[in-house]
Amino acid sequence: MVAQIPIPQRRLFELEKYRESKFPVLELKHFLCVWLRVEQDMPATEIARAVGLHEVTVRVIQRDFIARGKDAFISEKRGGRHRQLMTFEEEEGFLKGFLEAAGDASLLVVSEIKAALEKKLGREVHKTTVYRILKRHGWRKLAPRPKHPKQDKEAVDAFKKRATWKR
Please check whether residue 112 lies inside any domain of the structure: yes
Over residues 131-141, the mean pLDDT reads 89
Domain that holds residue 65: 9-72
| Same domain flag for 47 and 16 | yes
118's CB contacts (< 8 A; 6+ apart) are 124, 125
Is residue 46 within 8 A of residue 39, CB to CB? The reply is no
Do 66 and 93 fall into the same domain? no
More confident residue, 143 or 48: 48
Residue 24 included in any domain = yes
The C-alpha atoms of residue 114 and residue 130 are separated, in whole angstroms, by 6
The predicted structure's pLDDT at residue 89: 94
Q: Chain-wide mean pLDDT for the chain?
A: 86
Q: How far apart are CA 88 and CA 167, in angstroms?
A: 57
* Rounded-to-10 torsion of CA 19, 25, 26, 31: 20
Q: pLDDT-derived band of residue 12, with 50, 70 and 90 as boundaries? A: confident
Domain count across the chain: 2
Contact 65, 34 (CB under 8 A): yes
CA 23 – CA 79 distance, rounded (Å): 20
Per-residue pLDDT at 49: 92
Residue 141 maps to a domain: no
- This prediction has a pTM of 0.47
Instruction: Name the least confident of 23-32, 89-98, 116-125.
Output: 23-32
What pLDDT does 90 receive? 94
